[in-house]
Chains A and B, each alone.
Chain A
Amino acid sequence: MRSVISVYVENKYGVLARVAGLFMRRGFNIDSLTVSETEDSRYSRITITMDGDENSREQLISQLTKLQNVRSVKLLGGDSTVEREIMLIKVKNTPENRSEIMAATEIYRAKIIDYTTDAMCVEVTGEPSKIKAFIEVMKPIGIVEMCRTGVVALDRGANVLEK
């Protein structure tokens, strides 16, 4: 089961290491982890997507809550959450596949951000499922390399993380 967890942490020395270390030590599997500044410079927000059953998810949330630098932890996901991820994907640019790449880019509302005679770099933004679908389309064309930011997510409406 995939879960998205938002963690509001103090912007202090070693916080990321503490959070990442917890995952390693307790044997949780992270799919992605992002850290960024928030509206308040004293705090950062960590968004984690993980795979695991309900029990290990509850354990993880409880263990995260115990870290001294963690202010609050919230399980996101489902209809009440907006999720986005950015991917940069570089594909081979050949006369045969050029039009296909451009068509896919158009349909996925992605952007070509770099273009040379032998490669193109496409920026795709969207939910992880969209990113995944775009990768599938590019696979037969020939992916040179790719990079994803990992999921960022917020509650819809006026709901906020307890701070």
Chain B
Amino acid sequence: MIMNGAQIAIETLIEQGVTDVFGYPGGQVLNIYDALYCASDRLRHILTAHEQGAAHAADGYARVTGKVGVVIATSGPGATNLVTGIATAMLDSVPMVAITGNVPTYLIGRDGFQEVDITGVTMPITKHNYFVTKVEDLAETIRDAFRIAKSGRPGPVLIDIPKDVQEAECEYTYAAPYDPIRFAQASEALISEAADMINSAVRPYIYIGGGAAREGLSREIIALADKIDGYIGSSLMGLSLIPNSHVRFLGMQGMHGRYASSRGAKEADVIIAIGVRFSDRAIGDVKQYSKNAKIIQLDGDIAEINKNVSVDIGIVGDITSALLKMTELCEEKKHPNWKKKIETYREYGKAIGAEMEKNAGDTLTPKKILDVINNGKNDNTVIVTDVGQHQMWTAQYARFERPRRLATSGGLGTMGYGMGAAIGAYIAEDERPILITGDGSFGMNMTELATAVTYNIPMIIVIMNNGVLGMVRQWQTLFYDKHYSSTVLDRKTDFVKIAEAFGARGERVDSAESFKAAFERAVSYSGPYLIDAAIGMDEFVLPMLPPGAKMEDIITEDFSSSDVSSDDENEKDGAE
């Protein structure tokens, strides 16, 4: 059938199984929006308030479903507004296709109105990108983009389509979507070498990340842990893969990880790293990281092997089959001493937490907020966060029972990610998401409340409001002599009125009891509901492993009211 480029683009999206797209119209995508209008019965378009929100929505949609998220924006500022969203997806390996319009080909390079070289801009933050110059290439380019976005290690792909290409006509023929290309099988010799290494270990620790979470390897990883009597720790991106209720799961490790998990990684004699990239936030000092342990790394992406940490065995290829084979070759083991040690670390970690809560008394703390949320949500609820202290508290205290129930910007650390992502998560699943955010992060993209109201999205927005940029402030307290440079917000923003002005509901709470009551009201409300929860500005994310520090340097006490340097000795004692 003869169609114009815009129609071909939309038909190809539908052909790829896309049912929802996020975006914002503009001059150079008028044709695409015209084609969308005509295809609105087959393809739903979600109009956001800002292109960045649309990109994060496509990202959230992709994270909870595993499908490719799609976002459309116009040329120039529309395209550049996507940049943060694309980079967020890139750093967390989220499959996304971004379509942008551009000025007609005969105007390219002349700095026409709203022209920007978006393929140049996004080259380092996309898995691949395209500038389409002929309508005949368009359908195949889009098909390729989907294949690339979801193959191997997923990521964002951008397609820039000049306006005259959208207008030009050519023959379109339907084609079935390409199957994503999976990683090749890993080397059996290395797998068996790894199994030998595990068999001779007595303190095995499994470290899981986004690569494992994406493959949904919960049962497989637990089976390995059971067989070798090992424990499981996670990066931020690996959270929600293993149920928090599982006895082998120690939670997140790293800078703000759970004590038992970070300590477990330090004391282990073998670490089996699955789908992780050894981010500096997860491992602390690269040279010190588990230097007494042998490290086995399983990853699909060859460039991850030895990138940040030198490993003893790097197994490259399909991690699912490699993991199954490795488990088969591992011997059934019991390590009672290891178990005892882990239990001690757990108890110590719990004691730190209990002490903090005791000191807090009746005041509303992040832990109390998360307790209410954990009790009030169901296993299928998606928790979305922004970035900062609230994100780390969520990573520490939120309890997940099923995979893909956490959407958070791990790699890029994008403040303002949450509103868009929560909208995307809801559009994907029709299930009420809970956004946990901070007053700083929420301020960045709160304009997406408009979208949440328009589409009547029953999301619960919990703002942990401490009136400061808490994470940066925490660093200033600890490492910058309490020079609170630009981190005390002292704004007069009334978030409840803001919610109401957008057409949502909101209330402000300042105690555990009132938070619980507010949360119940939010759960029974049919639209977006904002809870502005006041917490103390000196709440710290603890424990904390300072950047580049060794495990011995872990900070487990609240130093906001005392002098850090004089407490050095206690710190060390506490950690031993």
Instruction: Please report A residues at the B interface, Cβ cutoff 8 Å.
Output: 13-14, 17-18, 21, 25, 55, 58-59, 62-63, 65-69
Contacts and interface: CB of A to CB of B under 8 A. Distances in A.
Of A58, A67, A69, the most chain B CB neighbours within 10 A belong to A58
A58 B306 CA distance: 9
Contacts of A66: 301-303
A59 B306 contact: yes
Nearest to B305: A62
Nearest to B127: A68
Given A13-B131, A14-B131, A68-B148, A59 B123 contact: no
B131 A62 contact: no
Interface of B: 119-120, 123-124, 127-128, 131, 133, 148, 301-303, 305-307, 310
A9 to B, nearest CB: 13
Contact of A55 (B120, B123, B306): B306
In order of increasing CB-CB distance, the 4 nearest A-B pairs are A62-B303, A68-B128, A62-B302, A63-B303
Contacts of A63: 303
30 contacts: A13-B131, A13-B133, A14-B123, A14-B131, A17-B120, A17-B123, A18-B123, A21-B123, A21-B124, A25-B124, A55-B306, A55-B310, A58-B306, A59-B303, A59-B306, A59-B307, A62-B302, A62-B303, A62-B305, A63-B303, A65-B302, A65-B303, A66-B301, A66-B302, A66-B303, A67-B128, A68-B127, A68-B128, A68-B148, A69-B128
Nearest to B144: A68
A33 B105 CA distance: 30
Nearest to A63: B303
A14 B119 contact: yes
Nearest to A68: B128
Contacts of B131: 13-14
Secondary structure call for the A interface: helix
A112 B447 CA distance: 70
A1 B15 CA distance: 50
Contacts of A55: 306, 310
B249 to A, nearest CB: 31
Of A59, A65, A68, the most chain B CB neighbours within 10 A belong to A68
A65 B302 CA distance: 9
A63 B303 CA distance: 6
Contacts of B148: 68
B149 to A, nearest CB: 11
Given A13-B133, A55-B306, 16 more contacts: A14-B119, A14-B123, A21-B124, A55-B310, A58-B306, A59-B306, A59-B307, A62-B302, A62-B305, A63-B303, A65-B303, A66-B301, A66-B302, A66-B303, A68-B127, A68-B128
Contacts of B123: 14, 17-18, 21
Nearest to B124: A25
Contacts of A68: 127-128, 148
Contacts of B133: 13
Contacts of A62: 302-303, 305
A67 B157 CA distance: 12
Contacts of B127: 68
A58 B123 CA distance: 22
Contacts of B305: 62
A62 B120 CA distance: 22
Contacts of A59: 303, 306-307
Contacts of B128: 67-69
B254 to A, nearest CB: 23
Contacts of A67: 128
A59 B128 CA distance: 19
A79 B332 CA distance: 49
A53 to B, nearest CB: 12
A13 B301 CA distance: 25
Contacts of B303: 59, 62-63, 65-66
Contacts of B302: 62, 65-66
Nearest to B131: A13
A25 B131 CA distance: 21
Contacts of A17: 120, 123
A66 B127 CA distance: 9
A68 to B, nearest CB: 4
B105 to A, nearest CB: 12
